[in-house]
Amino acid sequence: MTQGLFDLTGKTAAVIGGASGIGEAVALGCAAQGARVYCLDVNEEAARGVAARAATAGCACEAGAIDIRDSAVVDRVLDHIDSTHGLDVVVCTPSINVRKPILRYTDEELARVLDVNIKGNFHVLRAAGRLMTARRKGSIILFSSIRSQVVEPGQAAYAATKAGIVQLARTAAAEFGPHNVRVNAIGPGVIETPLTAPIKANKAWYDAYAAKSVFNRWGRADELVGATVFLASDAASYVTGSILYVDGGWLAADGRFTPPGM
């Protein structure tokens, strides 16, 4: 009865942000589980490269350009996928961060973060929800962060948007649930991607983040695939409105001191 529970064969998955980092790993992972994958990104050329690699798994994979800041573009791209193959899974990974103290933040920097992290995710949620509720099936997966729960100096706007993504997912789950559409979020810890490369290059910074994990290391992009495939698959048929943290125990342990005798 449980055989093939995580199998995505016959499902069409749109992976937004699929040209690099976590999105790239997720696109390849969904293809490996049998899904038809649309690898979507602002960098269409890089997305095509990932789609070509995903196709080696024997699945039909395509690529395209998308800018989640533009609601008309999001509507058009997802409409095309749905009308061509049916849209079963949408994964939205993009976000940006401007690390600055609140008192030094400019209006322009705040707008950049909000436009991608809140407005962009809202555009995807609305477009995917419209299509999936009409078909009465589907799974939408947004990407939040441990910063939705814990913060550090310089993370005000980013942390606020990541908390907002959790609430977007929860509200959509409540609204779309009667139409058999599930909405969840994933909360990564610190993951090695091109975007975190500047931090990794600073050994003290890298080591400080590694020490926050109970594994004493950063996560890899491919370690987000299992959680995503789970939420996309029938294995999570009764899971909605949830956030699944993939953080190496970052949120579980608030210190590293081991009391005597332990």
Structure tokens at 52: 């070509």
Backbone angles phi, psi at 250, to 5 degrees: -55, -50
Dihedral in degrees, nearest 10, Cα atoms 114, 115, 117, 118: 70
SS3 166: helix
CA 195/CA 112 separation, integer angstroms: 16
User: 138-156 burial, b if ≥16 CB within 10 A, otherwise e?
Assistant: bbbbbbbbbbbbeeeebbb
Q: What's the half-sphere exposure (Cβ side, CA atoms, 13 Å) at 23?
A: 29
Q: Which of 38, 158, 209, 245 is catalytic?
A: 158
Query: How big is the CA angle at 93 (ends 28 and 68), to the nearest 5 degrees?
Result: 115
SS3 202: coil
SS3 235: helix
Structure tokens at 8: 């995505």
209 is catalytic: no
CA 237/CA 240 separation, integer angstroms: 8
112 touches 120 (CB < 8 A)? no
Active site residues per annotation: 158
